[in-house]
Structure 1
Amino acid sequence: MSSKRKVLWLGKNYAIMRIAKLKSNNDFARVINHNFRHYENTPGVHKDGVIIADGVTDYKELKSHLNTVDDKIKDITGFNVRSNRVRGFELLFAVNQDFMSDNAKRDKYFKLAREWCIEQFGEHNYLNSCIHLDEDGAAHMHLMVTCITKDPKGFDNYYAKAWVNGRDSLSKLQDEWHKRVAHLGLERGKSVQLTNEHHKTKQEYVKLLQKDLDAVSKLSPYERDLLAVRGLRQERKLQKISENIRQHEMMKRVDFEALNKELLDHDFDFEL
């Protein structure tokens, strides 16, 4: 069995927390306009769905706030804020659909997420949060903060490294989050060092897809036919296993060990 094979583990609820750096005004604009549905028509989003918003929800107001902060930092340090300076973070909090279907647990989870972020980053850094109940799949929360604290010179400044400075600090931050919600029956997500799995942005996915398209365009008609047949076979295998999983869940008698063995018996990888 390939060492790169990924196993689809079933029956576990993981406390998911992801964090992304925000640098330019465009970064902040992209995030706030997506999170608060200002102008984007996102696939899988129901227009009559619900989002629960808190804090600064308008980009013009947010931009004015960021410019004010930049000016204050310039007055304190004597330097303009660099264009590549990390000025904040976007955090994502989620659990799977089974957990989120319990409204009481869901509300408690998101309440804890907001409280934890304010404790970690400070009330002065909190910008906004929103809970998406309008998308296909499980409910989830987006939250935005700036990263203002004392820098190594003692100035009030953007200093992202106080929170995220390499994988070890990120892993520690995720450990702290899991401690806060473990009493809800949630497990700590597996470390990226163990799974070797990295979240990809939309732009990264587009580049990967274009790379695949370029590779396919160089194949002969015969090679393309072979590739299509193999893809169809794998799709049928996935459909068969998906149906087995659905039937097991309906019967409420899922044999996880046997099912995982069945997944491993097939010659293809699963993305978590």
Structure 2
Amino acid sequence: MRKRLIAFVLALMMLVGVFTATASTVSAKKTFAHDYGVFLSLNSNKKTMRKLAGYKTIVIDVQNDFTKEDIRKLRKAGHKVYSYINVGAIENYRDYYNDFSDVMLDVYENWEDERWVDVSKEKWQNFIVNDLSERIKATGVDGFFVDNVDVYYMYKDAAFGPGIYDGLEIILKGLSKKGKVIINGGDTFVTEYYDRNGSLDGILDGVNQESVFTRIIDYDKNKFGKSDKDSEKYFTSYLKKVKKCKKKVYLLEYTKNKRLKKKIKNYCKKKGYKYYISGNLNLS
């Protein structure tokens, strides 16, 4: 009788443990108020860590002094962490800026501190794939938020255009071997890659599209408006194709308009997309 009682108590304790663990898991999921957030201008500090706490999947720039310990804490708390990496342009505040003056192209319109880069050059490809991405990966992030693949759109008709496509393919395939890849923008290249290969496998796990329903009117004053119908139709159709390829879709919109925010939220909920709506271009 005593042995049966002990066995019963032990079984009950195990059930309570399972219930508690399950309840804790459910509770942990509820702690994230938002699915997705993009914060490229934030530096590593306590205030930043508190702000990130409410977002399940976060995009940061680990080059802004984020450490391996920062990323470990974020992932331990249940976050998916992606780091910004600029593969098609280079900002003049990067410590490696002066090393690549020989591969720089035109100044990036509306971003005067940035220049496009000739990604057809092996020097740049090697730097991104074998150096910069390795440093980022070493912090423990889940993957890369890859910016300025739109360099293909800008220069595809130039004499070195074919090399731009090939260079991007090399870079994206190299990054995909190191972690998850979300391409920010880059619809022209992504569409071209799909047309050539019938798949998006090997270069990306998802796309983040800016300004599907919104548009930027004034870059300096953070003034935004509603996207025109043709642009909205084009990008919603494009994202539908990406989803059909079984890739994730993220939207990054800029607006302070409540009615437009509601439209974006309802659309993404219906389509199963993640979204982040920002009131400033700095993404801080």
Both structures adopt the same fold (TM-score exceeding 0.5): no
Q: TM-score, normalised by structure 1?
A: 0.29
The structure carrying a bigger helix percent of its residues is 1
Greater share of residues in strand: 2
Instruction: Name the structure, 1 or 2, with higher relative contact order (CA <8 Å, separation 6+).
Output: 1
Q: TM-score, normalised by structure 2?
A: 0.28
